[in-house]
Chains A and B, each alone.
Chain A
């Protein structure tokens, strides 16, 4: 029972999980392989997430969202990623990186102007932090914005931006007099363009491009929060981002365990189902145990992540632990399936490709190790 309370703490969480699981099985799973092969986002399917009320899941009810917590966000990412982590990544970039961050930091006028359109899915959003010369070292960003009358003039390039191709609006971090500031940049801002689609190994159900700012004129009314407030927005939102990325790894691992268990029973070799062989049992059992551990950690941390709770230790730990679990369990599932696991006919090779991104995006494993060491040392200073 305690197990269930961790994953579905309220009836609303349980209903949300059942709804997303049904939607995933019926609508997301059948299209996953096709959009992976094409390398594009299924925009009509994405807009269905808006109809279901999922795009503003963490936005307060008074702002038109569902007003739900980090556990609910984890549930959606967990369930969607059982079928299509690539599609789920587009959801994450929109709902967590844009909508959640924007709703927490924007003023009333900005919220009234933008939230209805991004919660419905009419506008697809994303977030621009990484630059060609600055990834984990985010403070080293070189994109600048200079005040010129009623506009800021922005110059620079952001790269590896999920939803770059389909997105209409982006939260962009740029330095104003050396201070990192958050801007809302949309396609109506002169001087803003996006590059070609950047092709990638996995997560191909979502797209990625550069955001290019060439004397881009961003209205002063599009500054989010205070000038210099960008770092706070960024750090606050990174916790939910990392947590939901961890949930995606859990979804991948869950699906791969299910595939291994079934295949182990059905596939016969040397006259016996292959799950009678100790080598296969090790993959299945170790995969299950690792998945459950990652799941418990992720949901446990989710209880303490929110707009008013800082839990960088928890969210870094969850992603640091869960991301390799997703990758390893996908690898083991492929090993159990042998040649069929390597073929595009089955979902394992796609999940295997998707899983790797989670060791890189939203913070590399090494950045989590750096943060954890720093934060844990700060908690236990040597006097």
Chain B
């Protein structure tokens, strides 16, 4: 089986987010960068699918040239077989649609039958690219998947819907599977796989190599600002009954949430 996985390099979930001084975006300089949290589930599921059904996994990343070592540590060292890093200036400046066009073209060229993606990037959290890839390829997509299985050319995926409701979706390959927290427990890289990661093929290409001329973002982002500081906590004194009464009064009259 020819399996694909999209892995975006983003600041670590524990990173302290700093806004650039001109408010034009987030300053990631000096921050630890990794394959995003949800994309980790996608990488793990892609590898598990390979282990269950044989074949090979290709990772696709749109990002900076310097992302190479992070793709090696966050995908190839875990058991992904090869990687495609789309990293020219056009790719770096692509918006969600441009990114989806680049990834869809690379996935098509690689001949993948199934692609795993994370439900959202850890940094911008747009949740747009997976659906766009499916649309551009003309494939089905199942989002927020918490359980997944393939039999032959058919798949069964469980979706986590609101209020704890689960939806089971069946269909045929090809498909884009968008991975949710809880789908699997991502592995640690094993030392022998770390040693192999450097020797695994990673091709760096640009938009032109995929025959795409215009992938520039169609929207722009500006005026980034940190959230307002959280107000100081208040401790309600008194016995349980009167404290509860006071809490309810404050929630209703001051916070206006009930």
Q: Which residues of A contact B (CB under 8 A)?
A: 11-12, 14-16, 18-19, 22-23, 51-54, 57, 61, 66-68
In the complex formed, the residue of B with least CB distance to A66 is B191
Q: Most chain-A CB neighbours within 10 Å: which of B189, B193, B197, B198? A: B189
Contact indicator B195/A67 (Cβ below 8 Å): yes
**B interface bracket (residues with beta carbon within 8 Å of A):** 10 to 19
**What 1/0 mask marks residues of chain B from 65 to 91 whose CB sits below 8 Å from any chain A CB?**
000010011000100000000000000
Q: How far is B78's CA from A15's CA once the two chains are assembled, in angstroms?
A: 11
User: What is the minimal beta-carbon distance from A12 to any residue of chain B, in angstroms?
Assistant: 6
**What 1/0 mask marks residues of chain B from 184 to 199 whose CB sits below 8 Å from any chain A CB?**
0000111111110110
Contact indicator A16/B191 (Cβ below 8 Å): yes
Given A11-B72, A11-B73: A52 touches B198 (CB 8 Å cut-off) = no
Q: How far is B77's CA from A52's CA once the two chains are assembled, in angstroms?
A: 12
| A residues less than 8 Å from B195 (CB atoms) | 12, 61, 66-68
In the complex formed, the residue of A with least CB distance to B190 is A53
Q: How far is B74's CA from A18's CA once the two chains are assembled, in angstroms?
A: 10
| B residues less than 8 Å from A52 (CB atoms) | 188, 190-191
Contact indicator A15/B197 (Cβ below 8 Å): yes
Q: How far is B198's CA from A247's CA once the two chains are assembled, in angstroms?
A: 26
User: What is the minimal beta-carbon distance from A24 to any residue of chain B, in angstroms?
Assistant: 10
Q: How far is B115's CA from A217's CA once the two chains are assembled, in angstroms?
A: 60
| B residues less than 8 Å from A51 (CB atoms) | 190
| A residues less than 8 Å from B192 (CB atoms) | 53, 66
Contact indicator A15/B188 (Cβ below 8 Å): no
Contact indicator A11/B190 (Cβ below 8 Å): no
User: What is the minimal beta-carbon distance from A68 to any residue of chain B, in angstroms?
Assistant: 8
Contact indicator A15/B77 (Cβ below 8 Å): yes
| A residues less than 8 Å from B191 (CB atoms) | 16, 19, 52-54, 57, 66, 68
| B residues less than 8 Å from A18 (CB atoms) | 73
Contact indicator A15/B189 (Cβ below 8 Å): yes
User: What is the minimal beta-carbon distance from B215 to any residue of chain A, in angstroms?
Assistant: 30
Contact indicator A19/B188 (Cβ below 8 Å): yes
| A residues less than 8 Å from B69 (CB atoms) | 11
**Could you write out 16 A-B pairs with CB less than 8 Å apart?**
A11-B72, A12-B195, A12-B197, A14-B73, A15-B72, A15-B77, A16-B191, A18-B73, A19-B77, A19-B188, A19-B194, A22-B188, A53-B192, A57-B191, A61-B195, A66-B192
